[in-house]
């Protein structure tokens, strides 16, 4: 037989694209359209309905950036269309085929009920099937003219990322608003051809099935009358029916499809637009559920449900009905799909707590898994936290984006730092926006790593990132692929059902231990430094407010614990931990609003804390310690003078009890407190740090070396830092001023000022305090660089085999060598409050109060010694998608802690991030809780969320070993229970001698519910 593949394939493609697809709508009549441009921000339906509309013609430009135009559309179904399937078709002037980052619209009936949204691949609104001639159409259409931020494919900057800079020129040209007859036979022929062509071109040339389909398509084209597609469509489908009816092989892979619409809670659009995106997408989803009984849609992010509940009651009611019918599956159990590395431990717990509770409260459903497809790596603390929240499985996708190493598993047990394991799946289709194309189905089977062990994988399907969701075309493809030779079998089912079956057939899946590190998007640990700082400060201020509010509730008559305010503030912080806000990868508008929100949160939390402290009474000045560790520390009074005080963990002490300490001496550029001696070089770096206790030099070369690197990644500016950044740099060795700014016996300080680059300036105050080996670098940066990254290096004379970096409820160890590609790919990593380096008998730590990104490397010197260098990433200057990212002023502190164990490092990390508070208070209430024993760290103290008055304490083992201790209470204790994260009892806790005996395995998290006597 002659090889005619090219001829046939080209014939089928042209006939399909140029004849069949245009014939899907058999007849059209235009609607009458009027328009009203809403001034400023979006308005309510009621305001839009009362507005004055003007006539509007097709092919007219409309829509300023970030604007809202309301269109009124009227029409009448022609009498001769009676009995046919009639739809409204709307084209706002769509660009490309991605619905998430351009014009979108929500179609309402005139009574305000949302019907359905329109976007590039979902332009229709059902009218009637069958239609009645003369039926009247009257819509109000809310159209959003969101700019296409990606139109230059991240190749150039754009001012469109903020309404303040985007201008007012119209972005789109309206193309179409018609009533139309949907020819269902042509519609289905189109889908038949899509599926068969997609399957055929991805089958190997030697497969007979490929050639069978090829020649069936050729015969089908012979049956097609190009001048009468509608009249011959049925005949063409009859030719194709036999090849569509051939069943899949018995051993065919099974793809479990679940509808999905990944909606970034903010990214290339602001939060206010996401609120509208949810209404548009969820309207489409519920409409699709009405049309397809076998459709199931998985949807995460409780925050988005709450937006719909509060702003779109009709859509909310439809969601509730779909949940009852089993077609809508709440999943994920998190407030938002948060970043997987940067939120603190308690914040990550609250993500799960608030998310799970929302779904239980509003749907009576307890979600069973963590649904987090698009975060930029995943902390090794996740398995334990997920299990403690009642989850059984974990799903993600993003690790398939690795630049260097292909992750070896798709279905596996993921083991966290404490030993907890959770059943985990990476869909081998390598997308969370599947469309059941031939390419995707081929990739799902080809990629699947568990062949011989498992037989199934998951495929979330539907348009996503900016929403959109599944379409009827995707559902039709899924139906055709349910049992088709040459293809995996597609079954639409709930994710819980997939995981149950996958685990049943593959219970002994391989184990992956530790973090799921994404070998990409490493700059998200640093970009938009003020957003990250706002998150860190908010997390610690929430801890502080909860502790002192609990203290006041226990000891101050008449004080009311601020449940609702704390709940609202927590949810604000959790929202901004979304995986494109906290990582710094959103447009300027998002980060401008985030910084303002963090400022409001800080102000309100400060007021709540002050109110709680004031409720304890006034009369004397006391020092309050929110840290879970006792502190002997220098504090500044309200007058600004330093004092040395000892304050118990989670408690307070009179400022009058301040005691003398060994004085700090300042001699030239040398600071000495008897524990450390710090020498500042003429260029402003540290030339020496002597640990006087250990009798050893800490530094191997200049310390606190500020290095400015060129930072232009190959792609994804705000997301990526590529390894070539290391190759070109400038060391900032010219100090414009070095001056002593404090010679107080309790605190000596030297200030170093540098100017560099394009008018940038760094001012650092290097301080040493009495009785502390910690050296602080209070840093102010006025930053005006572009495409640069600033790092601060500490090369220490320590032979460290690995670094230890704090993560949620513990720390993770990473090798300092690059023996394999897995280690070399970790050239930029994340950590929370500290990084620790050690050799047997000696360690040092670098602490911070707001940064996350860092790198650690080591080299051997000519003298045979080893230099291990930790470098903090301080600030970047990406230009896409926010051309002004990180520009302006930054204030933060980082520290060097010589001679530190892990336990001492943990304590100092809390101290740096939780400054002592000086306030008037009359009494000296006992700390709500205190711990007897090493390694047991209190992470949160609060009243129970059910307003019962019980006290909830979250503890963890912080050193990586076993810990035993007794939790003492500052109130009469009537009983105690171990609970899950949602404060539901698991078992009774052992109460002995008025305290709770605690025994923890390494990094174990324990939640105790304490009943007051």
Residues with active-site annotation = 374
Q: Enumerate residues 6+ apart whose C-beta is below 8 A from 261.
A: 281, 285, 297, 299, 462, 463, 464, 467, 468, 469, 470
| CA 920 – CA 623 distance, rounded (Å) | 9
| CA 783 – CA 750 distance, rounded (Å) | 22
Query: What's phi and psi for 622, nearest 5 deg?
Result: -125, 160
Residue 246 · residue 484 · CB < 8 Å: yes
| CA 746 – CA 798 distance, rounded (Å) | 29
Residue 108 · residue 115 · CB < 8 Å: yes
Of 888, 893, 842, 901, which is closest to residue 872 (Cα–Cα)?
893
Among left, alpha and beta (phi > 0; psi -120 to 50; other), residue 14 is: alpha
| CA 381 – CA 365 distance, rounded (Å) | 25
Query: What's phi and psi for 1010, nearest 5 deg?
Result: -110, 120
Q: How many CB atoms lie within 10 A of CB 1011?
A: 16
The pair of three-digit structure tokens given for residue 389, joined into one six-digit string: 């929240």
Q: How many CB atoms lie within 10 A of CB 534?
A: 24
Of 265, 277, 293, 257, which is closest to residue 468 (Cα–Cα)?
277
Of 716, 721, 729, which is closest to residue 757 (Cα–Cα)?
729
Query: What's phi and psi for 110, nearest 5 deg?
Result: -70, -10
| CA 958 – CA 906 distance, rounded (Å) | 7
| CA 829 – CA 526 distance, rounded (Å) | 10
Of 855, 811, 802, 856, which is closest to residue 833 (Cα–Cα)?
811
Note the Cα 939 to chain centre separation in Å.
22
Q: What is the CA radius of gyration of the chain?
A: 31
| CA 768 – CA 46 distance, rounded (Å) | 62
Query: What's phi and psi for 635, nearest 5 deg?
Result: -130, 150
Residue 757 · residue 414 · CB < 8 Å: no
| CA 438 – CA 329 distance, rounded (Å) | 26
As a 3-state breakdown, the chain gives helix, strand, coil percent values, each rounded to 5, of 30, 35, 40
| CA 432 – CA 919 distance, rounded (Å) | 51
DSSP element (H, E) containing 606: helix 588-615
Return the axis-axis angle of helices 345-363 and 563-575, rounded to nearest 10°: 110
| CA 283 – CA 278 distance, rounded (Å) | 8
Of 661, 650, 653, 660, which is closest to residue 621 (Cα–Cα)?
653
Of 804, 752, 745, which is closest to residue 770 (Cα–Cα)?
745
Max Cα distance, the chain (Å): 101
SS3 899: coil
| Peptide bond between residue 881 and the one before it cis (omega within 30 degrees of 0) | yes
Note the Cα 525 to chain centre separation in Å.
12
Of 433, 442, 509, 505, which is closest to residue 257 (Cα–Cα)?
433
- Sign, CA torsion 500/501/504/507: negative
| Peptide bond between residue 28 and the one before it cis (omega within 30 degrees of 0) | no
């Amino acid at each position: 037989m002659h090889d005619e593949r090219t001829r046939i394939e080209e014939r089928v493609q042209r006939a399909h694209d140029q004849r069949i697809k245009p014939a899907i709508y058999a007849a059209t009549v235009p609607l009458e359209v009027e328009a009203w441009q809403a001034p400023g921000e979006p308005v309510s339906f009621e305001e839009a309905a009362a507005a004055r509309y003007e006539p509007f013609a097709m092919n007219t430009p409309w829509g300023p950036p970030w604007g809202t135009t309301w269109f009124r559309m009227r029409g009448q179904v022609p009498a001769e269309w009676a009995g046919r399937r009639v739809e409204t078709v709307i084209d706002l002037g769509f660009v490309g085929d991605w619905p998430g980052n351009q014009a979108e619209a929500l179609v309402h009936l005139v009574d305000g009920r949302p019907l359905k949204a329109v976007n590039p691949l979902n332009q229709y609104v059902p009218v009637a099937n069958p239609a009645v001639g003369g039926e009247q159409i009257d819509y109000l259409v809310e159209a959003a003219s969101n700019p296409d931020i990606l139109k230059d494919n991240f190749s150039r900057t754009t001012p469109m990322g903020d309404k303040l800079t985007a201008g007012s020129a119209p972005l789109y040209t309206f193309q179409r608003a018609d009533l139309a007859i949907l020819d269902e036979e042509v519609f289905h022929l189109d889908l038949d051809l899509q599926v068969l062509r997609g399957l055929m071109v991805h089958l190997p040339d030697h497969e007979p099935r490929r050639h069978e389909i090829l020649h069936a398509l050729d015969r089908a084209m012979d049956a097609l009358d190009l001048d009468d597609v509608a009249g011959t469509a049925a005949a063409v489908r009859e030719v194709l029916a036999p090849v569509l009816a051939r069943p899949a092989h018995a051993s065919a892979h099974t793809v479990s499809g679940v509808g999905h619409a990944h909606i970034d809670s903010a990214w290339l659009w602001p939060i206010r637009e996401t609120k509208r995106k949810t209404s548009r997408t969820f309207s489409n989803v519920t409409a699709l559920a009405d049309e397809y009984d076998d459709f199931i849609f998985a949807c995460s992010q409780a925050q988005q449900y709450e937006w719909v509940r509060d702003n779109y009651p009709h859509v909310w009611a439809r969601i509730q009905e779909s949940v009852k019918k089993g077609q809508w599956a709440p999943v994920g159990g998190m407030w938002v799909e948060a970043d997987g590395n940067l939120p603190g431990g308690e914040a990550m717990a609250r993500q799960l707590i608030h998310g799970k509770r929302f779904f239980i409260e509003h749907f009576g459903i307890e979600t069973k898994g963590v649904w987090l497809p698009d975060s930029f790596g995943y902390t090794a603390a996740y398995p334990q936290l997920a299990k403690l929240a009642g989850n059984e499985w974990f799903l993600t996708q993003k690790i398939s984006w690795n630049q260097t190493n292909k992750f070896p598993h798709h279905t596996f047990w993921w083991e966290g730092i404490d030993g907890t394991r959770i059943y985990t799946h990476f869909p081998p289709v390598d997308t969370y926006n599947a469309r059941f194309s031939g390419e995707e189905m081929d990739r799902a089977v080809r990629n699947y790593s568990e062949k011989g062990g498992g037989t199934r994988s998951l495929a979330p399907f539907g348009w996503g990132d900016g929403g959109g969701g599944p379409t009827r075309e995707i559902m039709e493809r899924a139906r055709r692929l349910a049992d088709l030779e040459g293809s995996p079998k597609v079954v639409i089912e709930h994710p819980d059902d997939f995981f149950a079956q996958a685990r049943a057939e593959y219970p002994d899946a391989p184990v992956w231990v530790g973090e799921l590190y994404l070998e990409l998007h490493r700059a998200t640990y640093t970009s938009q430094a003020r957003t990250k700082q706002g998150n860190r400060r908010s997390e610690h201020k929430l801890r502080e407010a909860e502790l002192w509010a609990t203290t006041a509730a226990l000891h101050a008559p008449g004080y009311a614990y601020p449940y609702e305010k704390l709940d609202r503030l927590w949810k604000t912080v959790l929202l901004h931990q979304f995986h494109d806000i906290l990582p710094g990868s959103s447009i300027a508008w998002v980060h401008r609003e985030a910084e303002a929100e963090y400022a409001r949160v800080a102000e309100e939390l400060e007021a709540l804390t002050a109110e709680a402290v004031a409720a304890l009474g006034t009369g004397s000045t006391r020092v309050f310690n929110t840290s879970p560790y006792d502190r002997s520390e220098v504090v500044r009074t309200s007058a600004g003078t330093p004092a040395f005080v000892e304050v118990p963990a989670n408690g307070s002490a009179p400022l009058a009890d301040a005691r003398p300490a060994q004085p700090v001496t300042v001699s030239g550029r040398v600071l000495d407190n008897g524990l450390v001696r710090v020498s500042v070089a003429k260029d402003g770096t540290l030339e020496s740090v002597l640990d006087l206790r250990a009798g050893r030099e800490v530094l191997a070369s200049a310390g606190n070396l500020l290095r400015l690197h060129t930072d232009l990644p190959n792609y994804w500016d705000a997301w990526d830092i590529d390894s070539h950044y290391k190759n070109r740099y400038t060391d900032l060795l010219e100090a414009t001023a070095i001056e002593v700014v404090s010679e107080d016996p309790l605190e000596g300080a030297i200030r170093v000022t540098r100017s560099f680059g394009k008018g940038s300036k760094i001012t650092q105050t290097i301080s040493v305090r009495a009785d502390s080996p910690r050296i602080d670098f209070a840093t102010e940066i006025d930053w005006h660089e572009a495409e640069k990254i600033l790092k601060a290096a500490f090369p220490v004379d320590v032979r460290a085999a690995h670094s230890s970096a704090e993560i949620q409820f513990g720390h993770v160890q990473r090798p300092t060598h690059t023996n394999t590609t897995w280690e070399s790919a970790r050239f930029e990593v994340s950590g929370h409050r500290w990084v620790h380096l050690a050799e047997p008998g000696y360690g040092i730590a670098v602490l911070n109060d707001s940064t996350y990104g860092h790198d650690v490397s080591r080299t051997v010197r000519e003298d045979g010694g080893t230099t291990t260098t930790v470098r903090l990433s301080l600030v970047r200057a990406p230009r896409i998608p926010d051309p002004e990212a990180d520009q302006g002023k930054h204030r933060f502190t980082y520290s060097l802690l010589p001679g530190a164990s892990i336990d001492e490092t943990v304590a100092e990390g809390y101290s740096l991030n939780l400054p002592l508070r000086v306030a008037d208070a009359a009494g000296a209430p006992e700390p709500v809780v205190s711990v007897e024993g090493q390694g047991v760290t209190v992470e949160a103290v609060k009243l129970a969320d059910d307003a019962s008055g019980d006290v909830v304490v979250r503890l963890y083992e912080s050193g990586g070993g076993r810990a035993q201790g007794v939790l003492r209470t500052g109130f009469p204790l009537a009983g105690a229970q171990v609970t899950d994260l949602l404060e539901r009892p698991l078992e009774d806790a052992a109460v002995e001698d008025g305290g709770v005996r605690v025994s923890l395995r390494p990094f174990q998290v324990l939640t105790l519910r304490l009943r007051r006597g």
